[in-house]
Amino acid sequence: MRDGRPGDWNDADEGAQAGEVGGVGRVQRQALGDRSGRDHQVDGPAPGLTARSDDCRRHAAEDTGRLGVERHWVELVLGPLQDLQPPGSLGMLVVGVLLVIAADFVRACGQFRQGNSADRHLIGQLGRVDPFPQDQDAGVEHALPGLLIAHMRCQRFAKLRSMKAAVHTRYGPPEVVLISEVEKPTPRYGEVLVKVHATTVNRTDCACRAARPFFMRLFTGLIRPRATVLGNEFAGVVEAVGSGVTSFEAGDKVFGYNEGPFGAHAEYMSIPADGSLATMPANVTFQQAAASTEGSHYALSHIRAAKIRSGQDVLVYGATGAIGSAAVQLLKSLGATVTAVCDTGHLELVRGLGADRVIDYTAGDFTREEQKYDAVLDSVGKSSFSQCKRLLKPHGIYISSELGPLAQNPFLALIAPLHGGKKVLFPIPEHDQVMVRYVRELLESGQFKPVIDRTYPLDQIVEAYRYVETGQKTGNVVISLEGSH
């Protein structure tokens, strides 16, 4: 509330407001001027301005910030206009403009009240303005400067609440992805807001962007994508937490996996605090942490489905991809004997991952060799059960990361329990916080180090998509956002 003077803040009210938003100190301000003795004004209060409620005025005073220079600028520009007597039609035009600005202002105030504490503190430092004068007879010329200041403040707040993101609103090739300004997410109850420093472009992103195979539309949106910002693995810093979150706090370095909701191809993303999220180990970079979850969670799913134990013989086909390079390292951490298949140019890389034996597929057909395996893991989906069956021991297991040339792998997995001997498994990967924490332990111990092929800035994400879809990447393709904030 105010006292009898239309331009001054009541000390008690100012102190209460200062404690609520950003810790702004007690300030007493004079409004644009008490023009009670003015010669000209529009007869009666302007339409729409008298229909405001005390609640609206309170929120306007509490939530709206400004810079002092704005008040001076608006007064300088609009001062001469206040000596003019507008005709009826011009007066109605002015009122219409005011209503549009007021609607924008009210909308921004609603967004502000939903903002996090960091937003409130920042905006609180900008100062305050009451765009609705207490004097009910002030007329248009007093409401106009306040509302214009509020409008300018709305535009500033909209910028504070926006972020850069890679957006696709239709399915198609890499070119459907555009860098746009979108609304910055606000953490809800139980959620964590992460300032993303690094993410990746992987096969999952490519499949969801293109909706291939077609049945994926059942999960991603039949006509157009439901999740317009892709990106499933990420690393960054906790910006803010929603109410009820105790496991993370602002400033924590975190990494994780968010397939389904996605959202990592942006400067900020929200994720449930009990989702696939963990703090980063101190011995890895943001880029390494971001590249550690997608391939490893598929590899871990295959390894656990096959119940691979120490001492078993496993062949990994496609050992240079994100899944294959992770599989080699995870298998070695379990004590398995690993034979890896790759091309000539990556033999030493794969040996460095820990493979006991490496086969160059360009030198011959690896499916014709005589050694037998407890499991064959095809991490690129370029083989088939019929081709690899001869490589398996009597009760060996074949697992592929893809459906197969005729989409036969899920069907073969369904009938596997009906017969003994060699069989196909087609596990559905799952991810949770336990999985991410397990990956964290492997990263911290040095038993797993993600392979990174190339790094692109967010602005070049289309180029990253094109490169991934060549099928020639080694390990992971990282998107760095550290320079875009």
Residues 466 and 366 in one domain: no
In a domain, 3, yes or no: no
- How many residues belong to the chain? 485
How many structural domains is the chain composed of? 3
How far, in Å, CA of 104 to CA of 140, rounded?
18
Angle subtended at Cα 353 by Cα 349 and Cα 354, rounded to the nearest 5 degrees: 125
Of 131, 160, 189, which residue is a domain's last? 160
Residue 250's domain is classified under what CATH number? 3.90.180.10
Partners of 65 in beta bridges? none
Q: How far apart are CA 11 and CA 285, in angstroms?
A: 50
The pLDDT value recorded for residue 105 is 54
282 with 220, same domain: the answer is: yes
412 and 321 inside one domain:
yes
Q: What is the pLDDT of residues 75-99, one digit of tens each?
A: 544 454 455 455 555 665 665 566 6
Which of these ranges, 17-31, 131-145, 215-229, 417-431, has the smallest mean pLDDT?
Answer: 17-31
Mean pLDDT, range 416-434, rounded to an integer = 90
- The whole-angstrom separation of Cα 166 and Cα 268 is 11
Q: What is the pTM of this model?
A: 0.70
Q: Are residues 154 and 38 in the same domain?
A: yes
Whole-angstrom CA distances from 457 to 343, 432, 478 are: 29, 28, 8
**Domain ends where: 110, 130, 160?**
160
pLDDT tops 70 at residue 133? no
Domain identity same for 187 and 280: yes
For position 419, what pLDDT does the model report?
Answer: 78
- Tell me, yes or no, whether 415 and 405 share the same domain: yes
Give the mean pLDDT of the chain. Answer: 80
**Does residue 411 form part of some domain?**
yes
Whole-number CA gyration radius for the chain: 30
CA atoms within 13 A on the CB side of 319: 33
Asked if the structure places residue 331 within a domain, the reply is yes
| Shared domain check, 129 and 20 | yes
Q: Please say if the pLDDT value at position 466 is more than 90.
A: yes
Whether the predicted pLDDT of 134 surpasses 60: no
Same-domain pairing of 460 and 470? yes
Check which CATH number belongs to the domain holding 372 and give it.
Answer: 3.40.50.720
Question: Is 2 inside any structural domain?
Answer: no
Q: Which domain holds residue 143?
A: 11-160
Q: Are residues 404 and 339 in the same domain?
A: yes
- pLDDT at residue 221 is higher than 70: yes
- Shared domain check, 18 and 140: yes
Q: What percent of the chain is predicted at pLDDT more than 90?
A: 62
DSSP 222-274: SSS-S--S---EEEEEEEEE-TT--S--TT-EEEEE-TTT---SBSEEEEETT
Domain assignment present for 191: yes
pLDDT for 40 beyond 90: no
Assign 198 to helix, strand or coil: strand
